[in-house]
């Protein structure tokens, strides 16, 4: 006999470990197994997804550079590249150039490199090379320590390997652990981790003060999140018209204006109207993602710019 969905998923009493409430309901009631299933599906999707380099670079260029440039020209926003250089002490462009060269060489089947050969290829000074390697590489001992410090290590997490995707050998050569990790490191959310680490050092008095010393991390992260939401809406607008007679895309502000909500009700970021249904989109950045991450044991930076 076929089981109904609620019978197949079971009840919360059958779950041995605590499960965060993801807001999933079966027949109107919270269901822990549904939460576990949903979290595992999301984690599995990201774990097995192939990296699209063109999309990764395009997202970075729009969120980190083009949108801030447009806002700065209008007298608002932040210069993310400037914040990175001032706080981290290294131009983000240097980090990107170095990582992109390593990715290209590794993709050709040569993951073991002489860093000084890369330095010559880039026509860099030695101090430029050292500054970038300090951010991206670790030896065996430091990498193992980073793995031990990762609360999600052994679950779904590649945190340590994505933060430090280059392994320093005793010979002085470097190994690209995974070309995708290198690209995610510089074109994903992890440059924000560099900024966060630099801010922490400033608070502890380790580094000298910067012109951005008074800037709060939550402000910078919130700004990048806002840019991500804008970018997603631009992508959706390229799929469905947002204006005119055949308008099909509606954003959160339009939905709130059209459909009054009760206090505490959440509204998705956008919908696309189809013939007999609406397709809802939520940019997975703040609280909703935290709940999925906790349940699926996925590192936040791997999910940060995605749509559920």
Domain ranges of the chain: 5-48, 53-203, 217-307
Sorting pLDDT into bands at 50, 70 and 90, what band is 263? confident
- Phi-psi group of 16: left, alpha or beta (phi > 0 → left; psi -120 to 50 → alpha; rest → beta): alpha
Q: Which pLDDT value is given to residue 61? A: 96
CA distance linking residue 133 with residue 207, whole number of Å? 18
Q: Which pLDDT value is given to residue 7? A: 44
6: buried, middle or exposed (CB in 10 Å: 19+, 13-18, 0-12)?
Answer: middle
- How far lies 44's CA from each of 36, 137, 157, 302, in Å? 12, 28, 12, 12
Of 62 and 39, the structure prediction assigns the larger pLDDT to 62
Is 270 a residue whose pLDDT tops 80?
yes
Sign of the CA dihedral running 184, 189, 192, 196? negative
User: What pLDDT, in 10s, does the model give residues 77-123?
Assistant: 999 999 999 999 999 999 999 999 999 999 999 999 999 999 999 99
240 touches 233 (CB < 8 A): no
Sorting pLDDT into bands at 50, 70 and 90, what band is 180? very high
Helix (H) or strand (E) holding 223: helix 217-239
Q: Which pLDDT value is given to residue 97? A: 96
Q: What is the mean pLDDT of the chain?
A: 79
Spatial CB neighbours of 35, under 8 Å, sequence gap ≥ 6: 19, 20, 21, 22, 24, 295
How much of the chain, in percent, has pLDDT values that exceed 70?
75
Q: Which pLDDT value is given to residue 25? A: 57
């Amino acid at each position: 006999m076929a089981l109904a969905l609620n019978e197949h998923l079971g009840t919360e009493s059958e779950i041995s470990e605590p499960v965060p409430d993801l807001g999933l309901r079966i027949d109107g009631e919270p269901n822990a197994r549904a939460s576990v299933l949903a979290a595992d599906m999301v984690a599995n999707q990201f774990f097995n997804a192939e990296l699209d380099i063109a999309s990764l670079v395009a997202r970075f260029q729009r969120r980190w550079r083009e949108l801030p440039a447009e806002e700065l020209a209008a007298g608002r926003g932040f210069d993310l590249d400037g914040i990175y250089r001032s706080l981290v002490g290294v131009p983000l462009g240097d980090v990107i150039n170095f990582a992109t060269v390593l990715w290209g060489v590794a993709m050709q089947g040569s993951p073991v490199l002489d860093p000084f050969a890369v330095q010559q290829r880039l026509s860099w000074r030695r101090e430029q090379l050292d500054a970038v390697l300090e951010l991206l590489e670790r030896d065996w001992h430091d990498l193992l320590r980073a793995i031990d410090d990762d609360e999600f290590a052994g679950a779904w997490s590649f945190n340590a390997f994505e933060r430090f995707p280059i392994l320093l050998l005793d010979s002085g050569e470097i190994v690209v652990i995974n070309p995708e990790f290198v690209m995610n490191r510089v074109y994903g959310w992890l440059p924000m981790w560099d900024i966060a680490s630099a801010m922490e050092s400033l608070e502890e008095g380790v580094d000298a003060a910067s012109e951005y010393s008074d800037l709060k991390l939550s402000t910078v992260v919130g700004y990048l999140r806002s840019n991500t939401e804008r970018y997603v809406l631009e992508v959706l607008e390229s799929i469905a018209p947002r204006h005119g007679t055949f308008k099909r895309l509606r954003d959160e502000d339009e939905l709130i204006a059209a459909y009054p909500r009760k206090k505490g009700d959440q509204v998705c970021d956008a919908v696309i109207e189809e013939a007999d249904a609406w397709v809802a989109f939520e940019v997975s950045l703040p609280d909703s993602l935290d709940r999925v991450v906790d349940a699926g044991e996925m590192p936040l930076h791997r999910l940060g710019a995605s749509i559920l």
